[in-house]
Structure formats: structure tokens, C-alpha cells
Amino acid sequence: MRSLVFGVALILAASGAVAAEKSAALVMDYMGRPAPSLATYSELAAGASFALGPTETVTLLHYRSCRTLNIKGGRVNVGRDRIEAEGGAVTEEPGDTCPKEVAINTSGVSGGVVMRALDFITLPTEIDCVVVGRRLAEVGWIAIADETGGVVERLAVSGSRAMSPLGRPPLFKDRTYQMMILRPNGSLLKQVPVAVEESHRDRLCLVRID
């Protein structure tokens, strides 16, 4: 299983920065009674609080502290600066790399986005992205194109996550590509320039669309 170290966040909306500020943690896994708010890859806002049964477990990635916590039982309180677990068992996964958030402003035209000048977003040689946000259902694929425009990787977003399959040749390090966010029908929703660094291997990227 790939490491769940947090790497880079893409914010695809004029209101995305506001949404990102309200979101405090990402649910990476949950085992217990049905709880829609704790569905895998759903986000929790600062101030969220919930109780776990003695055998229920949740894995949370906290954005600001860059900590991934496995919590079993007890009451969980999600804060802006930290997560508190009262009466539960807590273990922490290794990794403390914080996300780099890049805001992309929308033009206000339905179906189109105008991109302003921005630095290249850095991705690992193997793609592993989670899509979140109110417009999550609009995203069906994540594709990577090389400098000639040829698509070198096209990944289906399944259960909010898109991952390079095992055995797929990695992207070339120190090269620039285009990341294309595609609708379920394959039409282009957004395209952003990305750079690839081998040192970012095994880092998770977060694509937020609000």
C-alpha cells in the first residue's frame, strides 16, 4: 500500500480557497456503523465532533498539522490546529509533509475556467490523487499529457481516488506535463501545468473542485 503522505492540493474554483479554509481533515478510512459524514475521502470541518464505538476505527489526515491518525473508540474532536481523541486509542502514521495549495480563479462562465499565471504544481513520478469538493461528481478522469500534447496517462476517478496502476512506467522526473481534469464523458474541465520530481514519490495529491 502506498504511503499516505500529503503532497499537493489543486483548488479549482473561485470559492475554493474558502472551502479549503473551512475543511480541516480528510477521512482516509472508516470501519464501523454506517456514517455518511465519515465516508472514505470525505472532509471534516473544524469543529466537527463524533463518537466511535469501542470497535469502530477511523483514519484522519489533518491538514494543518500534517498528521495522519488512526483512532479506535472514544470521542473525536476536529480542530483547526489539531485533532483530539478522548477515551480512544490513537496511533500515528509516519509522514509530515504539508500540502502546497494552488488557487486557480474561475471566469464565472459555466463549463470554462480561465487560468492566471501560477507556479508549476509539483507531482510525484507515480500519480495518486484524491478528488474532493462540492463538484466532485463532475470529475471522471485525470489525464497527464506530455509537452507534445500526447496523453501518457489517463486514470479513472474511482471512489474519489485516481492512482497509477502497479507496473505502469513512472513519469519522467524533472519534466513538465499538463494535468487534465476531465468530466465523466471525457470532455475537458480544467488543465494545469505540472512538474515531476522523484523526491515527491508516494505523496498524495488533493484535487479540490468547489
CATH, residue 106 = 2.60.40
Average pLDDT of span 150-161: 94
Question: Widest CA span of the chain, in angstroms?
Answer: 56
CA–CA separation, 22 and 5 (whole Å)? 21
The count of structural domains within the chain is: 2
Q: What is this structure's pTM?
A: 0.79
**Do residue 10 and residue 26 come from a single domain?**
no
Q: Verify that 121 and 72 share a domain, yes or no.
A: no
114 & 201 share domain: yes
Quickly state the pLDDT bin for 135 (edges 50, 70, 90).
Answer: confident
Q: Does residue 115 share a domain with residue 173?
A: yes
**Mean pLDDT score, 165-177:** 84
Specify whether 107 is located in the same domain as 81.
no
The last residue of one of the domains, among 34, 59, 93, is 93
* Tens-place pLDDT, residues 54-103: 999 999 999 888 889 999 999 999 999 999 999 999 999 876 556 555 44
Which of 38, 73, 93 corresponds to the end of one domain? Answer: 93
* Number of residues assigned to the chain: 210
Please write the tens of the pLDDT for every residue from 112-126: 333 333 456 777 788
pLDDT of residue 108: 36
Confidence of residue 106 (pLDDT cuts 50, 70, 90): very low
Domain that holds residue 194: 5-15+98-208
Asked if 42 and 81 sit in the same domain, the reply is yes
3-class secondary structure, 66: coil
Least confident of 39-48, 133-142, 201-210: 201-210
**3-class DSSP assignment, residue 107:** coil
**83 shares a domain with 177:** no
Domain boundary at 93, 123, 151, which?
93
Q: Which candidate, 190, 179, 124, places its Cα nearest to that of 154?
A: 179
